[in-house]
Amino acid sequence: MNRQKVLFEGILVGLAGAAAVAVWFFVLDLITATPFRTPALLGAVLFDGLRDPALLVITPGLVLKYTAVHGLAFIAFGLAVAGLFAIADRHPHMLFGVFMLFCCFEVAVFAAMMILGSWLLDTLQPWAILGGNLVAAVVMLGILFRDRRFSLHELRTSGE
């Protein structure tokens, strides 16, 4: 796979994952009748040092700034995953590296939240974070696997 295709695929996959998480939290925020609460909350913590969720004021600026950071983070992750998939085209056993990358990404999300403020895990429930990232993983992997032909037999025997 050429470099340009990996870049295109990585950006596509990253944006799709970011969009999946954004839609997930938008729906959860709508259920609680506070649209855009999650990106505004994370933006306020990241950019304004918010420490009390009761003081949150949802503004378009916070939502847009956080959305940009969120998108860039997912694009970086998408590029890494697309690169691993390009290697896995030749060496299918490298798909284990993709699994490990997704696991590391999940740990990094929770670590970032602990650094920004452990109270965030009370405000944004861990199940909601895991759910959003699971939806993103399914979307991202669906895009990555759609043009590839890995057989289960090939994956099982690739390490032999």
Of the candidates 157, 1, 11, 29, the residue with the CA atom closest to the CA atom of residue 85: 1
Query: What's the rounded Cα separation, in Å, for the pair 107 and 58?
Result: 27
Average of per-residue pLDDT across 90-97 = 83
**Domain extent listing, the chain:** 3-149
pLDDT digits (tens, 9 = 90+) for 95-117: 888 888 888 988 988 888 888 78
Q: Which of 72, 35, 31, 26 is nearest to 56 (CA)?
A: 35
Average pLDDT over residues 2-12: 94
* Average pLDDT estimate for 45-58: 94
Whether 80 shows a pLDDT value over 80: the answer reads: yes
Taking all residues of the chain, what is their mean pLDDT, rounded to a whole number? 89
Work out the average pLDDT over 61-79. 96
